[in-house]
Structure 1
Amino acid sequence: MKKNDVVTITIEDMSHKGEGIGKSDGFPLFVKDTVIGDVAEVKVIKLKNNYGYGRLMKLVSPSADRINAPCPIHKACGGCQIQAMSYPAQLRFKEGLVKNNLMRIGGFSPEICEKMEPIVGMDNPFRYRNKAQFPVGEKDGRIIMGFYAGRTHDIMECEDCLLGAEENRKLLDAVKEYMYANNVHAYNEETGKGLVRHVLIRKGFTTGEWMLCLVVNGSSIPNPRDLCGRVLQAEPRLVSVSISPNTTRNNVIMGSSYEVLWGDAYMKEQLGNITYQVSPLSFFQVNPVQTKKLYDKAVEYAGLTGKENVWDLYCGTGSISLFLAKDAGKVHGVEIIEPAILDARENAERNGITNAEFFVGKAEEVFANQVLGKENPEKIDVVVVDPPRKGCDEKLLNTMLEMKPDRIVYVSCDSATLARDLKILCEKDYQVEKWQCYDQFPHTVHVETVVLLSQQKPDDVIQTYDF
């Protein structure tokens, strides 16, 4: 096989990036825009020692799981990698992705993986995002807003992403009208000139409140009263309009601060019985429907009776911590981002929760200092971890092994690092009891997983883990 050869292959699997995988004479090819079950004519565009990449030229026979994707730009946009796959097939793919990582990286047996609880999908896998960030640019003298094409910073015009709220479009139109009326230019990455970089929109699914924030290449905007008037006319449910200055020439979207132009510094959102305040800079799960289900499962796995001492590491704005607090004796949350901890404390006060305290710092350092650093370390009943994609710091895993909590609830957004961390924990003192996947991001390759680990009994061995 050589570059530019055209071969016909059957797509038998998919990568973690959503590329189809098929073989020609036993040689694997990764092919974008294909679905498991497709028979495809593929042009070889790149070869490595043990695999290569192909470009889809023609579908010889489409998969039974292939559908007509409703979004006209899904192939070019970097967001929805698997929108051309039926939703039931997406769920099977995501379950398989997690299982494969647990076996390949974590060393768990196939029999154990087959005992997982079924993945939790969505009844309606569209319009689920409560947050959207639209880059702003100019093209042929026009202001354009949309999303970056895959692996580029070329803006593709799209003011109505099918994963976001329908109301986003009228807010973007109002921002455009303001920019035209006040001769405000979009930011240009190449020159560093221009003012408006991004438009951030948040929607409170349960409260009905809305927030809009302009990310700007400067400290102010001209005629802010006009902007506020236009966006409020477009969406009267707005409770906060702000700007976030960002003059750095990098890929970071938001600035480090924000200034309120109208309304409050935050909007409110509710999950279950907990009300959260969310600022423009706050991290908050983008799919509230699935988040509520996932948090309920985390509480179930924690097995709380009202007396437990719980640590929630990588706690963000305290979203899981406050869910746990209603059933725990005491909850301690740790997060490295100080504004998130300020939100967590205010969220606790807003909800009348007095048995939760929050610490700023690295999870691996605060946990060790607050627990192991004491003369008489307190008994830890449950540890909940919800780390970023890179997984848990090894020092934190070792601290957990040293503290020996009765149960560990691991919430993961990356099954590869999840498998790596579970392997470390299960080679020592813990066994996996059960786990479940949650489809937080339909039409993308991302999947959340929640796992319950408990201490091994003296006669337990790794091979007998019961998922």
Structure 2
Amino acid sequence: MSNRWRSSISRDREPKPIEAEVLAWGDHGDGELHVGSKRLFVAGAIPDELVSVLASKPPKLIKVLTPSDDRRKSPCRYASECGGCQLQHVTPRGQLNFKADRLTRFLHGLALDNLPEVELLSAEDRGYRRRARLSVSYRGGKLRMGFRQAKSNRIVDIDSCYNLTDPLNQVIKALKPLLAQQRAVSHIDLLQLDHAVGLHLRLTEPLQEQQLDAFQSLPGVALKVSRDEAWLVDTPWLVSNNGSSVAYQPGDFLQANTKINALMVERVLEWMAVDEGDSVADFFSGLGNFSVPMAVKGAAVVGFEGSDAMVKRASEAAERSTASRIVYRSVDLFGTQLVLENYNKVLLDPPRAGAQSLCEQLSKAAKVERVVYVSCDTNSLARDLKILVAGGFNIEGLALADMFPNTIHSETIVLLTRV
């Protein structure tokens, strides 16, 4: 067989663009369409659009023939490359519709009747993010600082980020000329503090003294520098948390969106209905995001957290604001058998893995009359809700908090009461 014939066969077998209507949202913010008996999920496509796609692996959007009313021009010039955002081409209204639709589909999969309507908690889609971790590369003698490209380890070099607060973007611009003069920094953590921007440089090799001085001279910056998990510079970071300042270290958990977090705290307080005499267990309590305002309302709160360091910092902050109404304990929350008979109300705010072991224990804890579950992952949430409902709880309230606009991620708040 000649090479010319092989080349001709290869061209004939290449997929050709297909026109099709986008029928629904996929779980990852892509558009679902049908080509014959096949279901394709196409990144960048929006329901109710007529599109031209290439039925390759993965499918590729070639052209939008009839755009949706929910389509917009991506406001960030890095959107086509950066893997941080998946929904910048969708209006804020369309993003909320997608997230609410996905949540409803997941919960209906539980075969539960009479689910309450999903309440939507949202704010601005720009400049909302108060923390970020950026990667740094000097490959080929060229500085790159930014986020990873979608499905790649390649770093997309950025001068600013549409989602970050203005002070964080100002520090990014000030950093670039300093980073170009050395090769020691591998990652950067940024955090909006009360009166400055926290800047953490993670090093792979020592900095020269004049280079370190240049970073320390950046205006409005509280600098931390580490290498091999040892602190070389450790300027204190203080961040507001429900009326008190908490010492924060890189790696601690802190919600990224200040305005949405305030709305979440408000909704959690309403649904927990805490009062004098309530005994509350706050699982995955972190730095006291929910436990502090519950204690201020008069409840006796025990915060359970897996990180010894975060327990220490949360305890120190609580001593300044709520005196003896909060106690924090360091516990492995993914397998430890806990005594739950002392609590009549429980708050759960687990990581993406969820709280399966805790929910199994709560389902048998007859004295627990009310549970509020804050989730960042719908899969683990669905699993855990099945356990709680089978154990005698009823879903009374649902809220979706748009913690991460322009991405497929969100937070869900669920109120459950014992039947």
Q: Give the TM-score taking structure 1 as reference length.
A: 0.82
* Aligned residue number for residue 5 of structure 2: none
For 1:329 and 1:140, the matched residues in 2 are separated by 58
User: By how many angstroms is 1:441 displaced?
Assistant: 0.5
Counterpart secondary structure, 2:364 = helix
User: Which amino acid letter does the alignment assign opposite residue 360 of structure 2?
Assistant: N
Counterpart secondary structure, 1:301 = helix
Q: In the superposition, relative to structure 1, how do residues 166 and 280 fare at CA in structure 2: closer, same or farther (>3 Å)?
A: same
* Aligned residue number for residue 299 of structure 2: 329
For 2:213 and 2:31, the matched residues in 1 are separated by 46
**Conservation of the 8 A alpha-carbon contact between 1:19 and 1:32:** yes
Are positions 1:346 and 2:316 aligned together?
yes
Q: In the superposition, relative to structure 1, how do residues 281 and 265 fare at CA in structure 2: closer, same or farther (>3 Å)?
A: farther
Identity fraction in percent: 25
Counterpart secondary structure, 2:324 = coil
For 1:259 and 1:350, the matched residues in 2 are separated by 29
Q: Which of 92, 107, 114 pairs up with 2:111?
A: 107
Q: In the superposition, relative to structure 1, how do residues 293 and 170 fare at CA in structure 2: closer, same or farther (>3 Å)?
A: closer
Q: In the superposition, relative to structure 1, how do residues 306 and 63 fare at CA in structure 2: closer, same or farther (>3 Å)?
A: same
For 2:216 and 2:36, the matched residues in 1 are separated by 58
Are positions 1:287 and 2:257 aligned together?
yes
Comparing 139-148 and 35-44, the one that deviates more: 139-148
* Aligned residue number for residue 325 of structure 2: 355
Q: Give the TM-score taking structure 2 as reference length.
A: 0.91
Q: Which of 342, 360, 376 pairs up with 1:398?
A: 360
* Aligned residue number for residue 3 of structure 2: none
User: Which amino acid letter does the alignment assign opposite residue 223 of structure 2?
Assistant: V
Q: In the superposition, relative to structure 1, how do residues 327 and 168 fare at CA in structure 2: closer, same or farther (>3 Å)?
A: closer
Counterpart secondary structure, 1:21 = strand
Q: In the superposition, relative to structure 1, how do residues 202 and 232 fare at CA in structure 2: closer, same or farther (>3 Å)?
A: farther
* Aligned residue number for residue 237 of structure 2: 266
User: By how many angstroms is 1:226 displaced?
Assistant: 4.4
User: By how many angstroms is 1:324 displaced?
Assistant: 1.4
* Aligned residue number for residue 11 of structure 1: 22
Comparing 416-425 and 162-171, the one that deviates more: 162-171
For 2:173 and 2:418, the matched residues in 1 are separated by 56
Counterpart secondary structure, 1:319 = coil
Counterpart secondary structure, 2:56 = strand
* Aligned residue number for residue 45 of structure 1: 56
Counterpart secondary structure, 2:160 = coil
| Count of equivalent residues | 406
For 1:384 and 1:320, the matched residues in 2 are separated by 8
The alignment's C-alpha RMSD in Å is: 2.1
* Aligned residue number for residue 32 of structure 2: 21
Q: In the superposition, relative to structure 1, how do residues 21 and 329 fare at CA in structure 2: closer, same or farther (>3 Å)?
A: same
* Aligned residue number for residue 310 of structure 1: 280
Stretches of structure 2 that go unaligned for 5 or more consecutive residues are: 1-12
Counterpart secondary structure, 2:23 = strand
**Conservation of the 8 A alpha-carbon contact between 2:148 and 2:156:** yes
Stretches of structure 1 that go unaligned for 5 or more consecutive residues are: 47-52, 186-194, 247-255, 457-467
Q: In the superposition, relative to structure 1, how do residues 228 and 453 fare at CA in structure 2: closer, same or farther (>3 Å)?
A: farther
* Aligned residue number for residue 199 of structure 1: 188
Q: Which of 445, 456, 466 pairs up with 2:408?
A: 445
User: By how many angstroms is 1:55 displaced?
Assistant: 0.6
For 2:289 and 2:232, the matched residues in 1 are separated by 24
* Aligned residue number for residue 376 of structure 2: 413
User: Which amino acid letter does the alignment assign opposite residue 399 of structure 1?
Assistant: Q
Following superposition, which runs of at least 4 residues in structure 1 exceed 4 angstroms of deviation?
228-231
Q: In the superposition, relative to structure 1, how do residues 228 and 351 fare at CA in structure 2: closer, same or farther (>3 Å)?
A: farther
* Aligned residue number for residue 88 of structure 1: 93
User: Which amino acid letter does the alignment assign opposite residue 362 of structure 2?
Assistant: M
Superposed CA offset, 1:403-426 (max 9, x none): 230100100111221111111111
**Conservation of the 8 A alpha-carbon contact between 2:364 and 2:391:** no
Are positions 1:242 and 2:205 aligned together?
no
